[in-house]
Amino acid sequence: MPVNGVNPPYGVVRNSLAGAATVSGPVVQAGTIQGGLHLHGGSALPTPRQLPPCPRRLIGREADLAALDGSLAADAGAADVTLVVTGPAGVGKTALAAQWLRGQAARFPDGQLYADLRGYAPGGPADPAEALGGFLRAFGISPVPGSLEEGAALWRSLAAERRIAVLLDNASTAAQVRPLLPGSDHTVVVVTSRRRLTGLGIDGAVFRPLGPLAREASTEILAARVGRHRVLDERAAAAEVVDACAGLPLAICLAAARIAARPAQSLAATAEMLGRGTDRLAALNVEGETVRDLLDASYGVLEEEAARLYGLLGLLPFAEFTLENAAVLADVDVAGADRLLDALMDVHLLEERGPERFRFHDLVKLHARAHGARVRADGPTGAALDRLVDWYLASATAAEAVVSPTHRTLARDYRTRSVHPAREFTGDVPALEWYDAERDRLAGVLRWCEELERPTAAWQLADAMWPLFLRLRPARLWVEATRIGLDAARAAGSRSGELRMLTDGGNGLRNAGEGAEAARWFTEALVLARESDRPLVQADALYGLSQTHRMAGRLDEAAECLHEVVRLREAEDYLRGSALARLAYGEVLLLAGRAAEAVEPIGRAGRELASIGDDYEAARAMAFLGLAHGRLGAYERAEAHLEEALAGFRARLSAHWEARALEFAGQVEELRGRPDAARARYERSRARYLEVGAAAEAARLADRLAAYGVDPAVTPRPDEPEA
C-alpha cells in the first residue's frame, strides 16, 4: 500500500498484540535499519544499601541502641519517625545511627539511603538538592528535576510506595533537612548533627543526645584495638590514655591507632604525650584526622560574639561556670549571656549541667583555652577577666556584710567599673547558700589572682570568704586560702592584709588540727600588731593564742590570754568581741571541770550577743550553757538550751556547730544514765562532722561510739530520725 504516494521497497509491516501477550526487554519497531543493531537485555537497579561502614559491635552504646529501638512503632508498616541524634564532634553519632539502621534492615526491604550533608566540612554545608538527586537516581530516576521543590515532591511520591530508611549525616540546620524528609508512613529518617536542630521538633522529630562513653567502655575499645594483653600489662598507663581521651570514641580510636602502629612502644609513652595539656588535641592525629580539626569546624560556625565568649570561658580556672559568670565575662545582661551560651550549646561545644550551670567536655575545654590564650593579651580580654575577679570580690564582700556584719571590713580595691552589680542578699541564710554553691569557683578565682597579677584582690577575696570558713568549716580550703592571702598581702605591701591573713589563717590552722603552726601565726600577728599599735588586732591574736593553748590543754595560759582580750576589747568599746572572749573563757572553765563558775560568763556572753542580733554566736553560747547545766545535773534546763541551740544552727546552715551541739547533747544523755539516747546523739554528731570534713572530731566520736559497740561504718545519715 503506497505511503504518501510512494511504495515502500519492503512494504509496510503492522504489529498487533492481543490476549495476555506481553513485551519485555528492549523492543525496536522500524521500517528500515541500516548498519549493525545490538540489543542487550536490561536489568533492574539493585536495592539501595548505602549506609557507611561501622564497627560490628558498638561498645558502650547498648542503652542508646535500645532507646532508638523503642522509638519505632510496633507495627513494621507504621514506622514513620524522624530521629535526631545529636552530640559533640567525635562522639560516635554516625556509627550509632548506621549500626542501628543495619539492625533494622529487614524492616525496610526497599532500601537504606545515605547522604552526607557536610554541615562542618570545608565548602559545606551541602545543598539539599544534591542529596535529593542522589536518592532519586538510586531508584532509577534520571534526569532528576531541576528545582528543589519539584525534586522534593517527586521524592515524597517515590517514598510513599516504599518502606525505606534514610540516614542524613552531619546536618547543619533544620532547613537543610526538611526537604529530604519523605513524609511517608513507611519510612524512618535518622539525622545526625553537632547542632541540636530543635526546629525539627515542629516536624515531630524524636531527639537522642549522645554523650561521652563511660571509662569501662572506653577501656574495652582500647583493648579491642591494641590488644587486651597490652592493656592488662600496662593498666595504669592504659587508664591514663583513656582518661586523656575523655570518653570521646574518635579520640580513643585515634589514640589506639597510634599505639597499634607502634607495637614496640609502651602505652606509657602515649599516656605521657597525651598528658601535655593542649598538645593532646594535636597528638590525637592519624593520617591527618584530628580532634582539633573537628572542634575547629564547630567553632567556625559561631558568630564573633559567641566565639569570643567561648575563648574567655576556656580561660576560667574552674570546671563548671554559671550564667552570671558568662554575663560578666561578655559584658552583657543575663538574657544576652543566655543567648550566647545557647549558641555554644547548639553546636555541642558546651554542656548544661543544671539550672544556669554549664561546663565544657574535657577536650573541648582544651580547645576553648587555646582560643582564649590567643587573645589573652588583647585589652578587652584582660578587662573581662578583671571584671570577673571584681564581681566575685564584690559579691563575697556583700555576703560577708550580711553574715558577719560586725567583722571589720577592710578596704576593697577594684580594677574595673563593671555594669554588673554584685550579688545582693536578703539575709544570712541566702548569703551562706551562695557561699556554699560558689565555694569551688571562689577558690578557683583566688588561685587565679596570682596568674592575673592581682595580689591585692587575692588577699581581699580571702578576707571576704571569712564567713564561709567560720560557718561552713571547709578546713583545707580555709588553710589554703589564707596561705595564698598571706603571700599576696606581703607581695602587695599591705600590713592590714598581712595581719588579717595571719589571724584568720591561724584560726584555720587551729581548726585543721595544726596547733603549733597556728600558734606561730598568732604570735607573729601579735608582734606586728604591737609594733603598729593596733589594739584590736592584738586582741584577735591573743584570742587565737588562747584557743591554741586550750587545745593543747594549757588552760591557765588560755584563761590569761582571754582576760587580756576582754580588757583590750572593752577599752575599744567592742561589745561583741568582749562577749566572745567571755564565752571562750566559759569554755575553758568547763574544760577545767568548773561548770558552776562557767555559767555566769557564758550566760552574760549569750545575752550580750543576742542584744546585738548575733544569733549565730548566741546559739553557740546557748550550747555551752546547756552543757554546763548538764554537768550540774539540771538536765531539763540543759536539754532545753541544747534544743534551742540546735534549732539556731540548723536555721543558719552551720553543720559543724550542729554536730558540736549534738555531741554536747550526747554527753548530757550519758550523765543522765540514758545510753541509748546518748548513742543516737553521738551517731548523728559523727555523721555531721564527716559531712563537713572534720576528720579529728569524727574520729573522736568514733571512739565514743566504740564504747557502745557501734560500728562507725554504719552511722546513720544526719537527716535520719533519732532512735
**Contact call for residues 284 and 276 (beta carbons, < 8 A):** no
In this structure, what C-alpha cell is assigned to residue 351?
Answer: 554542656
Higher pLDDT among residues 31 and 122, named by residue: 122
**Contact call for residues 603 and 623 (beta carbons, < 8 A):** no
In this structure, what C-alpha cell is assigned to residue 677?
Answer: 539516747
Using the predicted structure, report yes or no on whether residue 448 has a pLDDT greater than 50. yes
Summarised one tens digit per residue, pLDDT across range 583-637 is 999 999 999 999 999 999 999 999 999 999 999 999 999 999 999 999 999 999 9
pLDDT tier for residue 363 given thresholds of 50, 70 and 90: confident
Round to whole Å and give the CA distance between 299 and 307. 7
pLDDT tier for residue 3 given thresholds of 50, 70 and 90: very low
pLDDT tier for residue 715 given thresholds of 50, 70 and 90: very low
**Contact call for residues 473 and 436 (beta carbons, < 8 A):** no
Following DSSP, what letter does each residue of 286-308 receive, concatenated? ETTEEHHHHHHHHHHTS-HHHHH
Note the pLDDT of residue 73: 67
Angle between helix 291-300 and 362-374 (nearest 10)? 60
Whole-number CA gyration radius for the chain: 37
Note the pLDDT of residue 29: 55
Q: How far is Cα of residue 406 from the mean position of the Cα atoms in its chain?
A: 36
Note the pLDDT of residue 53: 84
Q: Which of 19-23, 26-30, 492-496, 650-654 has the highest mean pLDDT?
A: 492-496
pLDDT tier for residue 143 given thresholds of 50, 70 and 90: confident
Q: How far apart, in Å, do the first and last CA atoms of the chain sit?
A: 119
CA distances from 541 to 260, 316, 438, 459, 707 (A): 63, 36, 29, 18, 38
Of 253, 202, 208, nearest to 71 by C-alpha is 208
Summarised one tens digit per residue, pLDDT across range 391-412 is 999 999 999 999 988 777 789 9
**In the sheet that 188-193 helps form, which strands lie side by side, from edge to edge?**
112-116, 165-171, 188-193, 81-86, 206-209
pLDDT tier for residue 77 given thresholds of 50, 70 and 90: low
**Which residues, 6 or more positions from 16, have their beta carbon under 8 angstroms from its beta carbon?**
none
What one-letter code names the amino acid at 281?
L
Round to whole Å and give the CA distance between 277 and 693. 31
Which pTM was predicted?
Answer: 0.72
**Contact call for residues 281 and 291 (beta carbons, < 8 A):** yes
At 532, phi and psi to the nearest 5? -100, 10
CA distances from 342 to 311, 337, 339, 351 (A): 15, 8, 5, 10
Summarised one tens digit per residue, pLDDT across range 96-133 is 999 999 988 888 899 999 999 988 777 778 899 989 98
Note the pLDDT of residue 506: 96
pLDDT tier for residue 717 given thresholds of 50, 70 and 90: very low
How many beta carbons lie within 10 A of that of residue 404, not counting itself?
Answer: 20
Note the pLDDT of residue 279: 63
Summarised one tens digit per residue, pLDDT across range 308-362 is 999 999 999 998 999 999 999 999 999 999 999 999 988 888 888 888 999 888 7
Summarised one tens digit per residue, pLDDT across range 538-567 is 999 999 999 999 999 999 999 999 999 999
**Contact call for residues 155 and 180 (beta carbons, < 8 A):** yes
Note the pLDDT of residue 74: 60
**Contact call for residues 295 and 367 (beta carbons, < 8 A):** yes
Round to whole Å and give the CA distance between 267 and 413. 50
Using the predicted structure, report yes or no on whether residue 20 has a pLDDT greater than 60. no
- List the beta bridge partners of residue 553: none
Largest separation between any pair of C-alpha atoms in the chain? 145
